[in-house]
Structure 1
Amino acid sequence: MKKIINNIKGNYKLVIAVLVIGVLLGLVFSGSSDKTVTPANGIEGHEGHNHESEDPTTWTCSMHPQIKQDKPGKCPICAMDLIPLTSMQSSGDDVDPNEIVMTESAAKLADIQTMMVQLGVPEKSVRLQGKIHADERNISELTARFGGRIEKLFVNFTGQTVRKGEKLATIYSPNLVTAQRELLEAISFKSSRPSLYQASKGKLKLWDLTDGQIEEIEKKGEPMLYFDILSPISGTVTMRHVAIGDYVKEGTKLFEVVDLSKLWVMLDAYESDLPWIKMNDKVEFTVQAMPGKNYEAKVTYIDPFINGSTRVAKVRAEVSNKNQQLKPEMFVNGVVNSKIAEASNKILIPKSAILWTGKRAVVYVKIPNRETPSFLYREVVLGPEAGSFFVVSEGLQEHEEIAVNGVFKIDAASQLIGLPSMMNPDGGKVSTGHNHGDMAVDQSQHKMENFEVDKKFQKQLTSFYNDYLSLTKAFVTSNSSKVNAEAESLLSKLSLIDMGLLKGDAHMAWMNDLKVLESKLKEIAEAEDINKQRAAFASFNQALYKSVKSFGLDKVTAYYQFCPMANDDKGAYWFSNSEEIQNPYFGEMMLGCGEVKETIK
């Protein structure tokens, strides 16, 4: 014991240091405990300090709420920009319960831009393609008014230019000689039987003899054996049906003469273009054969019918061609700058302000007199497309303010907190645990039977697949008429695939696929609504995938892509020749939404 005491005395400095440290630690722990239990002393307790408040922002995808990150970026599924998941719903008695409030920082981050709704005159430049045609009113078809033999021919080749009244040919006609003798005999009865004289003279006129020729016959007192066929107009001989020595009957075609000093420009206009084209509109066009030269004409005729095969109507303009530079059948590219309603103003909003599902068009209206940016969901009825604008028929008033940039991010935030949104117009919370991709069967995991097939069949299927890519591009443009035309073309290409090249089970498998491919292409070709076309397109792609996997493609790499939001959130597939996503089910609205599910080489 004495030894221990001596040791302590020897190290008293160490002992004192240990005691001081112990006291300080006791004060720290006891003080912390007191502050937690009794925060009334004015110092905030530890539990009252929220570490998450230092950085409360969680970043998520508007279309795939299951994606959550602690920093901004892009969605790994659809490559859309992530948005901050914060409570942006409005509160208070003086605001609409469906109003979505954004902080200034959130609005700036989402790059929200707005504009006042104004009245304007809708204008659009309609681009048309077509050909030059001869003016049908300036085409003269010469036929034989009486039978006979071609004695002389003054037109030796087609394309020869002639003037009005110029000789084209000389004909000998026994019947005409007889008719002249009847006239000469009737002259002696001119005073006593004038009707007989007039009948004989009228017969010669019906055979295309002029008054001058008839007077000459009467003066000579003997019939003329040869008669000249004269050109009725000045123009170009485009058809010559006879040669020297030919015997012709009454009604036989002899020549066709066309006046090319005025021509028709026949342009193809799709259904969606017709509301913008009216009579007397100015058409500016160029001819591929003469680059750099511009022509102008006016619309003089609009076809009252739509061609059932091409789905276009003909628009005609007339152009002067005195120098004969323009030729029939030349290709032209025309532009019509038109106003749809010159006498009245319409509400116009830019395309970027609209969220469009095909069934509904949605805009977000900014609430005036708010300290922070606040918006309301509004469904509108759209009129015609006017270049980069749309005419609004219903739903907006002049001087209202709408979002024109960052609209999709506003809608995404609205959807995430359960307010009315584009994909959920009735509101309600979205489910963050559900994966839209699970709603559609991942066809890339299906087991397909691979057949040994004739190389010719595989090449024919590959040719069909290459034409199919044009149909996909038409869907990307959301142009229903263009989709109709491409589907009809693809249907005819499908009939060229020779199923006789397949044998046994391969033949039966193709027969099953062919039924689906044909029926869905017919649905697409006959439907006028883009949504019905896209629904059929989703089923068509399933059958095409089965065929491609079963029979293969020749020297082609195909990317089988998937969008989880298509087909009413069931998901849908399509083929592409590029890894880049261009969504045919939503077009510009969600062009980049999707992912490559399988690469088929």
Structure 2
Amino acid sequence: MSRFKNAKLVPIFILIIAIAFGAGYLSKGSDTSPPTDTKSQAEGEKGHDLEAHYDEAGNVTWTCSMHPQIQLPKPGKCPICFMELIPLIRKDEGDQTSMREITLTSSARTLAGIAVEEVKRLDVAVETRMAGKVDYDETRVRNITAWTGGRVDKMYVDYTGSLVKKGQPMVSVYSPELLTAQAELIQAIKAIRDLKDSKLDLVRNSAQRTKEAAQEKLRLLGLTQRQIDKVITEGTPADHITLYAPQGGVVIKKAVNEGQYVKTGAPIYSIADLSSLWVILEAYESDLPWVSLRQQVEFQTDAYPGKVFKGKVVYIDPLVNEKTRTVRVRLEVPNTDGSLKPGMLVRATQHKGGQLGKTKNSPLVIPASAPLITGKRAVVYVANPDKEGVYEGREIILGSKAGNYYIVLSGLKEGELVVTKGNFKIDSAVQIVAKPSMMNPSTASRAISEELPSLFSSKLRLLSQSFEELSSAVSTEELSQTHMAFGEFNKSLRLIDGSSLEGKIALRWKEYSMLLGNDAILGAEAPDIRRLHEIFSEMKKHYAELATTFAIATPEVELTAPVEFRTQLGHVFGAYEALAASLAKDDTEGARSAAATISESLRLVDETVLDGPSHNVWTASLTKLNDGLAAIRDAQDIVGVRTGFEPISVGLSEAILKLGVETNGPLYEIFCPMAFEYEGATWLQRNEEVHNPYFGTAMSTCGEINKQLKK
């Protein structure tokens, strides 16, 4: 690739370098040749609170100011643009709150033109513009058809556009079939008269049914009841049938002419009632969030400048026109004065909101210039109100765009300050120091060497179970099931408290929990299978980085316990809870009774359903449980009962951790460091509120959560 083929790149490059200089990220020397002592050079920058970035071998990392993704162990030229590499220098990260945090000096902020605006709740003012045309209301269009075959002898309405009233005669049709049917009715009536003196009820009833059948046949052929009564009264068949208008309106179609023969069912007229019309609008798919059923929409026509009509949204097409990327929206519009004509072109405008929200129901919004959008994700930079010139990059989830605002679904809080001008320049500076940014959202991850808090580690293990369950749900490609699985994963993620972490570990946890949380929110709302797999593919990368960084290992042997065994173990835990509660209240007799219940529950556990490795785990746990129960049976006082309680807790904890248990809600292992003369001991609880069974009422709250055993 040749250097600077496009001259427009030069000003951009100069601007990025200037920002980097102002921020204090690049060396100030004009000499681009590599220094003989890179550590001395880094030490020479101490006046600017800078620290060279070294790799694990202690060597300085060299990068390109135009292509920060280039990071080499030795100085030289950029393999892309052939510029001299510069040492990658960054501020000390000891007091940072995010991996995406960056500090700009006053001159750098001035050069970048940084402007911020508060995140607020606002009933955003949205003006949705649509175009369309007036059309007939299809529910108010009626056809007049030939009820019987024949010849059209007279058309009372002989042109389209005629105004007609309901019941108005429209056409007269000569029909031989009609003559035959009338003759049948006349003959049936004559038969009834002739048989009125007959003593045979069967005969009279048969004649009556023949009459009724002949009347019904004439009705189906199109005669009104009045016309049928006239045939009966006069006794003379009519050779023509007159068809009447079923509703008032305008004739919009005339399909035949006088003298023309028609078949049964052939259309003759179409009549439309124009007192109510449809307006068919075309809405861009990006505007659909602001269009909903039963909304009132205003529109205008060229025929009546300045006059505003209103209609109600009654239908939104479920399909998108792939050529125009629009969706048909139908309005129902009253037209009592006849001003609107089918075929008129209209311009519609739909307004929504616009005042500061005074309730929590108003959406959280940011200016449209704040987010840096890449595909389905967005990055914003949030100003730290307590540290001047400090900005934190944050990935957020955006909702719909509403005029000059974006609705924020996740990632920001009301009152935070987001950068609305100069955000791209901040992102460029972040890229130079190789931190996660809009264009480079991930960083190389490696396992941490520090020991993690035990409770945090246990919750990470449970998170891995949630991710496996999510993976299984995604493989089924059942949207409803996967939506719930994404929600459960997000719940497990939010329950992990990283406040006990410090330094770089805390920064990495904040970064990965943010990314995975956003993945889970997007996955829970995936509209189709294709989008679902796109989101989960991205999520797998983020989870792999988390697993690598925090060394979330998968057991070499996957232990399995059938549901019936886990249910039986749940009954054992229920009896164990009663034992712990009795000891917490210093109730010796209650504790002995609960221990006896544990023994009964253990006898009901069917260990034959376990495979080899699982059976070995249960055997070891059962030994501890029985040892503890034996100690309680031999105990002379509550001290002895508490001595037996400890191995029961250890054995049950091991079984639940490795084999699982069927109980509602989470389970926690609590540790008391003062038990048994400061040797320490553990017990199990359903909640995080400590009720110490080893000291009872004397020190009921002594203890801390050691780990979480179950989600």
Which TM-score band applies after superposition, normalised by the shorter structure?
A: 0.5 to 0.7
Residue 410 of structure 1 corresponds to which residue in structure 2?
426
Per-residue deviation, 1:231 = 0.9
Residue 168 of structure 1 corresponds to which residue in structure 2?
170
Q: Distance in 2 between matches of 1:65 and 1:414?
A: 23
Instruction: Name the count of aligned residue pairs.
Output: 362
Per-residue deviation, 1:151 = 1.8
Residue 326 of structure 1 corresponds to which residue in structure 2?
340
- Do the aligned residues in 2 keep the contact of 1:90 with 1:98 (CA within 8 Å)? no
Per-residue deviation, 1:426 = 4.2
Matched to 2:96, the amino acid is: V
Residue 129 of structure 1 corresponds to which residue in structure 2?
131
Counterpart pick for 1:382 among 386, 398, 412 = 398
1:347 corresponds to 2:364: yes
Per-residue CA deviations over 1:16-43 (Å, capped at 9, x if unaligned) read xxxxxxxxxxxxxxxxxxxxxxxxxxxx
Paired residue secondary structure (2:392): strand
Residue 108 of structure 1 corresponds to which residue in structure 2?
110
1:236 corresponds to 2:264: no
Matches within 5 A, 1:491-530: none
Please, what TM-score do these two structures have when normalized by structure 1? 0.55
Q: Distance in 2 between matches of 1:361 and 1:121?
A: 22
Q: Distance in 1 between matches of 2:138 and 2:442?
A: 59
Matched to 1:391, the amino acid is: I
Matches within 5 A, 1:358-437: 358=375, 360-370=377-387, 372-426=388-442
Per-residue deviation, 1:78 = 5.6
Q: Distance in 2 between matches of 1:145 and 1:360?
A: 63
Q: Distance in 2 between matches of 1:167 and 1:80?
A: 85
Paired residue secondary structure (1:274): helix
Matches within 5 A, 1:543-554: none
Counterpart pick for 2:148 among 146, 149, 154 = 146
Q: Distance in 2 between matches of 1:79 and 1:140?
A: 70
Per-residue deviation, 1:359 = 5.2
Distance of aligned partners of 1:74 and 1:181 in 2 relative to their CA distance in 1, 3 Å threshold = closer
Of 135-144 and 115-124, deviating more is 115-124
Distance of aligned partners of 1:360 and 1:255 in 2 relative to their CA distance in 1, 3 Å threshold = closer
Matches within 5 A, 1:483-494: none
- Do the aligned residues in 1 keep the contact of 2:364 with 2:407 (CA within 8 Å)? yes
- Do the aligned residues in 2 keep the contact of 1:189 with 1:197 (CA within 8 Å)? no
Matched to 1:220, the amino acid is: E
1:259 corresponds to 2:269: no
Counterpart pick for 2:292 among 278, 302, 315 = 278
Paired residue secondary structure (1:363): strand
Counterpart pick for 1:299 among 310, 313, 321 = 313
Q: Distance in 2 between matches of 1:309 and 1:343?
A: 40
Distance of aligned partners of 1:106 and 1:307 in 2 relative to their CA distance in 1, 3 Å threshold = closer
Distance of aligned partners of 1:176 and 1:426 in 2 relative to their CA distance in 1, 3 Å threshold = closer
Q: Distance in 2 between matches of 1:419 and 1:368?
A: 21
Residue 178 of structure 1 corresponds to which residue in structure 2?
180
Per-residue CA deviations over 1:501-524 (Å, capped at 9, x if unaligned) read xxxxxxxxxxxxxxxxxxxxxxxx
Counterpart pick for 1:223 among 237, 255, 260 = 237
Q: Distance in 2 between matches of 1:209 and 1:374?
A: 88
Q: Which has the higher contact order (CA 8 A, sep 6+)?
A: 1
Matched to 2:370, the amino acid is: A
Paired residue secondary structure (1:353): coil
Q: Distance in 2 between matches of 1:249 and 1:410?
A: 79
Q: Distance in 2 between matches of 1:95 and 1:319?
A: 60
Paired residue secondary structure (1:169): strand
Matched to 1:143, the amino acid is: T
CA-based RMSD of the aligned residues comes to 3.3
Matched to 2:148, the amino acid is: F
Q: Distance in 2 between matches of 1:126 and 1:343?
A: 25
Matched to 1:358, the amino acid is: G
Q: Distance in 1 between matches of 2:401 and 2:337?
A: 39
Per-residue deviation, 1:272 = 2.8
Per-residue deviation, 1:109 = 3.7
- Do the aligned residues in 1 keep the contact of 2:166 with 2:246 (CA within 8 Å)? yes
Residue 94 of structure 1 corresponds to which residue in structure 2?
95
Q: Distance in 1 between matches of 2:142 and 2:4?
A: 75
Matched to 1:354, the amino acid is: P
5+ long unaligned stretches in structure 2: 26-89, 197-203, 445-529, 535-711
How many percent identity over aligned positions? Answer: 38
- Do the aligned residues in 1 keep the contact of 2:4 with 2:10 (CA within 8 Å)? no
Paired residue secondary structure (2:113): coil
Structure with bigger helix share is 2
- Do the aligned residues in 2 keep the contact of 1:74 with 1:80 (CA within 8 Å)? no
Residue 548 of structure 2 corresponds to which residue in structure 1?
none
Q: Distance in 2 between matches of 1:329 and 1:296?
A: 17
Q: Distance in 1 between matches of 2:221 and 2:360?
A: 56
Per-residue deviation, 1:226 = 2.7
Per-residue deviation, 1:420 = 3.2
Per-residue CA deviations over 1:539-570 (Å, capped at 9, x if unaligned) read xxxxxxxxxxxxxxxxxxxxxxxxxxxxxxxx
Per-residue deviation, 1:377 = 1.3
Distance of aligned partners of 1:254 and 1:307 in 2 relative to their CA distance in 1, 3 Å threshold = same
Per-residue deviation, 1:127 = 1.8
Residue 301 of structure 2 corresponds to which residue in structure 1?
287
Distance of aligned partners of 1:111 and 1:302 in 2 relative to their CA distance in 1, 3 Å threshold = same
Q: Distance in 2 between matches of 1:66 and 1:374?
A: 33
Q: Distance in 1 between matches of 2:93 and 2:137?
A: 72
Q: Distance in 1 between matches of 2:14 and 2:209?
A: 93
